[in-house]
């Protein structure tokens, strides 16, 4: 018990520090200080179990959200959040937030397998829902969420932050839409992460709770594949996942990859927990977008060739090779989501896209052949 408490304290410290670092180093003034945008909706937070909650909260704040309240049963997580956002009321229960008619949107980074049931309750109370990835961990949960979302007309948005909150990826989307590399043929998405095992809570190592590696960190890559190829139908051609190097966590998966085929192009995904300590980032996230007239390569978090910071974009076309520093590109997701809450539109993310990206991740996870047998 004492070890779990120590791990949680370390997790909180790193999560808050990491979120603060993102705010200081990567955003424009309008985007980083919620007070610079007049409040347009009221929102609340339920579930603080992953540090991504800070990035999610900042996205809504910069889009014009007013943080009204929050709830988490873990006293230490709640205390850290309250310190960061003193303007928010600490609710006594989830029910208090769900029954608050002034709250229009609920944001969550609860334990992964608890997110979809929470989202169902949120939508049934007439509120929209924005959740950390993986937003859904089983196909049965997906069926429930789809049914309730259709019946209520509420928004169920999964914040795939490797696209929506990465400036280079946002810029790549603009370039692709403008035809900079012709028609997209394939995407190759690589999502390495650092393990940091000592700071992780117990649920992180339980596949029933985090959903498996393809469902979890792989979900980012499925989202990007659909977005950049424009695919509205797709299938998993092959998938594999397993634990190749961490026998002390027998249910954990540290490696996985997938091949995809859709009506807009093909895709390859590889995710892992093998970022070495020598890298000055949690992961060298990369995306290559192959087009008929050129290609784009993104180094999202670090350029190991020596350029500082993240958000590096390389564009090669028929005329030249260009480098674009995207560190000052705007991040529209938060503003678009608030717009959608107000206008009942789908500018931040089409609901069908959100669900299809999740469906592909879940099907890949279920069909994945086992690789590795860490000993």
pLDDT tens-digit readout, 235-294? 999 999 999 999 999 999 999 999 999 999 999 999 999 999 999 999 999 999 999 999
What Å distances lie between residue 20 and 58, 150, 253, 300, 341, CA to CA? 10, 37, 29, 18, 26
**For the residues 303-330, what does the mean pLDDT come to?**
95
pLDDT at position 249: 94
**For the residues 165-183, what does the mean pLDDT come to?**
98
Q: pLDDT tens for residues 47-104? A: 999 999 999 999 999 999 999 999 999 999 999 999 999 999 999 999 999 999 999 9
**For the residues 114-123, what does the mean pLDDT come to?**
98
- Whether the per-residue pLDDT at 358 is higher than 60: the answer is yes
- Whether the per-residue pLDDT at 21 is higher than 70: the answer is no
- Whether the per-residue pLDDT at 30 is higher than 60: the answer is no
Give every CB contact of residue 263 below 8 A, 6+ residues apart in sequence: 231, 232, 233, 234
**For the residues 217-232, what does the mean pLDDT come to?**
98
> 198 or 33: which carries more pLDDT confidence?
198
- Whether the per-residue pLDDT at 211 is higher than 70: the answer is yes
Closest CA to 5 of 113, 77, 93: 77
CA angle 133, 137, 138 (to 5 degrees): 150
* Torsion from C-alpha of 74, 110, 143, 333, nearest 10 degrees: 150
Q: Are 193 and 271 in contact (CB under 8 A)?
A: yes
pLDDT at position 17: 44
pTM of the model: 0.90
- Whether the per-residue pLDDT at 164 is higher than 60: the answer is yes
pLDDT at position 27: 34
- Whether the per-residue pLDDT at 298 is higher than 50: the answer is yes
Give all domains of the chain, ordered by start, each with its CATH number. 2-159 (3.40.50.720), 163-331+362-370 (3.30.360.10)
pLDDT at position 374: 63
Please report, in angstroms and rounded to a whole number, the separation of the first and last CA atoms in the chain: 27
pLDDT at position 375: 63
């Amino acid at each position: 018990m004492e070890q779990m408490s120590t791990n949680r304290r370390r997790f909180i410290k790193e999560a808050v520090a990491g979120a603060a670092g993102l705010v200081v180093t990567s955003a424009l003034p309008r985007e980083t200080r919620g007070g610079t945008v007049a409040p347009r909706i009221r929102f609340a937070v339920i579930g603080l179990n992953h540090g991504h909650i800070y990035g999610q909260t900042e996205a809504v704040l910069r889009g014009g959200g007013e943080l009204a309240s929050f709830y988490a049963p873990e006293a230490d997580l709640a205390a850290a959040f309250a310190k960061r956002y003193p303007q928010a009321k600490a609710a006594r229960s989830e029910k208090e937030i769900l029954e608050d008619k002034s709250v229009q949107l609920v944001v969550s980074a609860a334990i992964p397998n608890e997110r979809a049931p929470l989202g169902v309750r949120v939508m049934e109370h007439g509120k929209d829902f924005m959740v950390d990835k993986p937003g859904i961990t089983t196909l049965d949960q997906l069926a429930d969420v789809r049914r309730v979302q259709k019946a209520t007309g509420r928004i169920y948005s999964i914040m795939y932050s490797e696209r929506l909150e990465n400036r280079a990826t946002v810029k790549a989307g603009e370039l692709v839409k403008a035809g900079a590399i012709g028609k997209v043929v394939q995407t190759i998405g690589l999502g390495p992460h650092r393990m940091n095992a000592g700071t992780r809570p117990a649920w992180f190592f339980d596949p029933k709770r985090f959903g498996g590696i393809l469902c979890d960190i792989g979900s980012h890559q499925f989202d990007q594949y659909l977005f950049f190829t424009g695919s509205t139908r797709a299938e998993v051609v092959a998938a594999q996942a397993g634990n190749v190097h961490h026998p002390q966590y027998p249910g954990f998966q540290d490696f996985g990859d997938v091949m995809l085929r859709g009506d807009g192009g093909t895709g390859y995904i590889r995710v892992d927990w093998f970022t070495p300590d020598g890298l000055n980032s949690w992961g060298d996230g990369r995306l290559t977008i192959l087009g008929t007239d050129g290609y784009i390569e993104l180094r999202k978090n670090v350029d190991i060739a020596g350029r500082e910071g993240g958000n590096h974009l390389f564009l090669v076309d028929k005329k030249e090779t260009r480098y674009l520093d995207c560190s000052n590109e705007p991040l529209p997701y938060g503003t678009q989501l608030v717009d959608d809450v107000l206008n009942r539109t789908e500018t931040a993310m089409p609901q069908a896209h959100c669900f299809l990206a999740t469906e592909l991740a879940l099907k890949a996870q279920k069909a994945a052949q086992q690789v590795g047998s860490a000993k």
